[in-house]
Amino acid sequence: MSAPRRPQRPAFYALAPGGWRDLVTLLHPPYTAWHLSYVALGAAAAPHLHGVRLGAAVAAFGLAVGIAAHALDELRGHPLQTRLRDRTLVGLASVGLGGAIAIGALGAATVSLLLTPLVVLGAWLALAYNLELVGGRFHTDAWFALGWGAFPAFTGFFVNALTITPAGLLVTAGCCLLSVAQRRLSTPVRELRRRTASVHGELTLHDGEARELTAARLAEPLEGALRAIWPALVLLAVGAVAVRLG
């Protein structure tokens, strides 16, 4: 039986290029849901969970991460191979980030001015990471874990608690480490899908069986983990919020 060949799509969730499919692919649906789950998990750790504040935080991160950050990332070389024009991507990024800032500003005005630093930091992270500002110093695995893992969880917690507690810090740290794990899985997969022309070699088992190594075979267990983790996090987040609101 022939071994699996190199994956053809730039991501396991990427649709065929063109039309509305490009917009779906641009959203990175599994990863957007993954990071929005951090917001909900952070909120669930707060002493008091306010449904409206959680909804606003999820909407803001959906705009900032799901749309703006991903549009800016696609602007740099079209790694997802979409046919979206640069001006369209700039427009999506502007609307997404502008909407997120507007929600944050409204929260700062109506809930607490303590939210203002989070609004500023969130906007800065979206631009610094995805545009690789300052020579790409903020486009690293560590900043990914802090910006897309710790920050959403802490924000979800703080907008509800308006204070810092051990529980909030623990959830923040946990989400940060989950983003480290995500990066450890997704980085080699991206390299296999987007940059690898061929793979040579074989895996020999103790019983003598030889298995050809291919990019698809190497990517399969990594993507299998990613495919399992993102819905698991969504279910955990929904369950945690349901318990708090129930």
Lowest mean pLDDT among 8-22, 33-47, 142-156, 172-186: 8-22
Alpha helices in 111-165 (DSSP H): 116-130, 133-136, 141-145, 151-161
Does the CA dihedral 130-125-184-227 come out positive or negative?
negative
SS3 202: strand
- Tens-place pLDDT, residues 103-124: 999 999 999 999 999 999 999 9
- Residue 135 pLDDT grade (very low, low, confident, very high; cuts 50, 70, 90): confident
Please give the pLDDT value at position 3. Answer: 46
Mean pLDDT over the full length of the chain: 93
Instruction: State mean pLDDT over 66-80.
Output: 93
pTM of the model: 0.92
Percent of the chain at pLDDT exceeding 70: 97
Per-domain boundaries in the chain: 20-245
- Tens-place pLDDT, residues 18-41: 999 999 999 999 999 999 999 999
Does the CA dihedral 109-110-113-115 come out positive or negative?
negative
- Residue 1 pLDDT grade (very low, low, confident, very high; cuts 50, 70, 90): very low
Please give the pLDDT value at position 198. Answer: 87
Token pair of 140 as six digits: 């690293």
pLDDT over 80 at 74, yes or no: yes
- Residue 197 pLDDT grade (very low, low, confident, very high; cuts 50, 70, 90): confident
- Residue 8 pLDDT grade (very low, low, confident, very high; cuts 50, 70, 90): confident
Please give the pLDDT value at position 7. Answer: 52
pLDDT over 60 at 205, yes or no: yes
Q: Are 114 and 162 in contact (CB under 8 A)?
A: yes
- Residue 132 pLDDT grade (very low, low, confident, very high; cuts 50, 70, 90): confident
Q: How far apart are CA 240 and CA 32, in angstroms?
A: 18
pLDDT over 60 at 136, yes or no: yes
